[in-house]
Structure 1
Amino acid sequence: MKRQTYIYTITFIAALGGFLFGFDTAVISGANPFIQKYFKLDELALGWAVSSVIVGCIIGAFSAGFVSDLFGRKKVLLITAVLFTFSAVGTALATNFTFFVLARILGGIGVGAASALSPTYIAEISPADRRGRLVSINQLTIVIGILVVYFTNLLFAESFGDDSWRYMLGSEAIPALLFFGLLFLIPESPRWLFKNHQEAKAREVLRKLEGESHITEEISEIEESLKGEQEKVAFADLFKGGMAKITVIGIILAMLQQLVGINAIIYYAPTIFESAGAGLESALRQTVAIGGTNLLFTFVAINLVDRWGRKPLLLAGSVGMTLSLSFLSFSFLSDGGAGSGVLFSILGYIASFAATHAAVMWVVVSEIFPNKYRGSAMSVALFMHWSSTYLVTQTFPWMLANKGGAFSFGIFAVIAALSLVFVWFFVPETKGKSLEQIEKELQIS
Structure 2
Amino acid sequence: MSQDATTPRVAEQPNTSAVLRISIIAAFGGFLFGYDSAVINGAVAAIDAEFDAGSVALGVLVASALLGAAAGAFFGGRVADILGRVPVMKIAAVLFLVSAIGCGVVDTYGWLLFWRIVGGVGVGVASVIAPAYIAEVAPASIRGRLGSLQQMGIVLGIFIALAVDAWLAALAGGAAEELWLGLEAWRWMFMAEAVPAIAYLVGTFTIPESPRYLVEDGRPDEAQAVLANLQGSASAAERVRLIKESLRIEHKPRLSDLRGRTAGLKPIVWVGIGLAALQQFVGINVIFYYSTVLWQSVGFTEADSFTVTVITAIVNVAVTIVAIALVEKVGRRRLLLVGSAGMTLSLATLAVLFATADVVDGAPALGPTAGPLALVAANLFVVFFGVSWGPMMWVLLGEMFPNRIRGAALAVAGFVQWIANWVVTVTFPALADFSLGLAYGLYAFFALISLVFTVKMVRETTGIELEDMQD
TM-score range, shorter chain: over 0.9
Structure 1 counterpart of 2:419: 387
Q: Distance in 2 between matches of 1:186 and 1:241?
A: 41
Q: Distance in 2 between matches of 1:207 and 1:240?
A: 37
Q: Distance in 2 between matches of 1:359 and 1:297?
A: 10
Q: Distance in 2 between matches of 1:237 and 1:376?
A: 8
Q: Distance in 2 between matches of 1:293 and 1:337?
A: 25
**Matches for 1:345-424 after TM superposition, within 5 Å:** 345-402=377-434, 404-424=435-455
Task: Pick from 174, 188, 197 the counterpart of residue 176 of structure 1.
Answer: 197
Structure 2 counterpart of 1:30: 42
Structure 2 counterpart of 1:333: 355
**Matches for 1:38-49 after TM superposition, within 5 Å:** 38-49=50-61
1:51 paired with 2:60, answer no
1:302 paired with 2:324, answer yes
Q: Distance in 2 between matches of 1:320 and 1:233?
A: 37
Q: Which residue identity lines up with residue 284 of structure 1 in the other structure?
A: F
In 1, are the aligned partners of 2:322 and 2:387 still within 8 Å (CA)? yes
Structure 2 counterpart of 1:266: 288
**Matches for 1:194-273 after TM superposition, within 5 Å:** 194-229=215-250, 231-240=251-260, 244-273=266-295
What are structure 1's unaligned runs of at least 5 residues?
none
In 1, are the aligned partners of 2:253 and 2:406 still within 8 Å (CA)? no
What are structure 2's unaligned runs of at least 5 residues?
1-13, 177-183, 358-363
**Matches for 1:54-73 after TM superposition, within 5 Å:** 54-73=66-85
Task: Pick from 120, 137, 159 the counterpart of residue 147 of structure 1.
Answer: 159
Q: Distance in 1 between matches of 2:332 and 2:259?
A: 24
The one-character-per-residue Cα deviations of 1:209-264 (angstroms, maximum 9, x if unpaired) are: 111121233223222222233x3332111123697111111111111100110111
Q: Secondary structure at the match of 1:373?
A: helix
Q: Which aligned runs of 4 or more in structure 1 are off by greater than 3 angstroms? A: 240-243
Task: Pick from 257, 275, 278 the counterpart of residue 300 of structure 2.
Answer: 278
Q: Distance in 2 between matches of 1:10 and 1:70?
A: 21
Q: Secondary structure at the match of 1:369?
A: coil
Q: Secondary structure at the match of 2:266?
A: helix
1:116 paired with 2:148, answer no
In 1, are the aligned partners of 2:254 and 2:405 still within 8 Å (CA)? no
Compute the TM-score of the two structures, normalised by the length of structure 1: 0.96
In 1, are the aligned partners of 2:163 and 2:310 still within 8 Å (CA)? yes
1:432 paired with 2:470, answer no
Q: Distance in 2 between matches of 1:393 and 1:262?
A: 10
In 1, are the aligned partners of 2:323 and 2:391 still within 8 Å (CA)? yes
Q: Distance in 1 between matches of 2:83 and 2:266?
A: 26
RMSD of Structure 2 on Structure 1 (CA): 1.3
Q: Secondary structure at the match of 2:330?
A: coil
Q: Distance in 1 between matches of 2:439 and 2:116?
A: 26
Bigger CA radius of gyration: 2
In 2, are the aligned partners of 1:57 and 1:113 still within 8 Å (CA)? yes
Task: Pick from 338, 341, 350 the counterpart of residue 319 of structure 1.
Answer: 341
Comparing 298-307 with 330-339, which one deviates more in the overlay?
Answer: 330-339
The one-character-per-residue Cα deviations of 1:263-289 (angstroms, maximum 9, x if unpaired) are: 111100112111221111111111011
Q: Distance in 2 between matches of 1:303 and 1:224?
A: 33
Identity of aligned residues (%): 40
Q: Distance in 1 between matches of 2:430 and 2:161?
A: 25
In 1, are the aligned partners of 2:336 and 2:454 still within 8 Å (CA)? yes
Mark the CA change 1:166 to 1:112 in structure 2 (over 3 Å): closer, same or farther.
same
Alpha-carbon shift at residue 127 of structure 1 (Å): 0.2
Q: Which has the higher helix share?
A: 1
Q: Distance in 1 between matches of 2:167 and 2:233?
A: 50
Structure 1 counterpart of 2:118: 106
Q: Which residue identity lines up with residue 387 of structure 2 in the other structure?
A: A
Aligned residues: 437
Alpha-carbon shift at residue 149 of structure 1 (Å): 1.2
In 2, are the aligned partners of 1:191 and 1:371 still within 8 Å (CA)? no
1:9 paired with 2:21, answer yes
In 1, are the aligned partners of 2:34 and 2:154 still within 8 Å (CA)? yes
Q: Distance in 1 between matches of 2:324 and 2:261?
A: 34
In 1, are the aligned partners of 2:253 and 2:407 still within 8 Å (CA)? no
Q: Distance in 2 between matches of 1:337 and 1:244?
A: 48
In 1, are the aligned partners of 2:159 and 2:310 still within 8 Å (CA)? yes
Alpha-carbon shift at residue 171 of structure 1 (Å): 0.4
In 2, are the aligned partners of 1:68 and 1:375 still within 8 Å (CA)? no
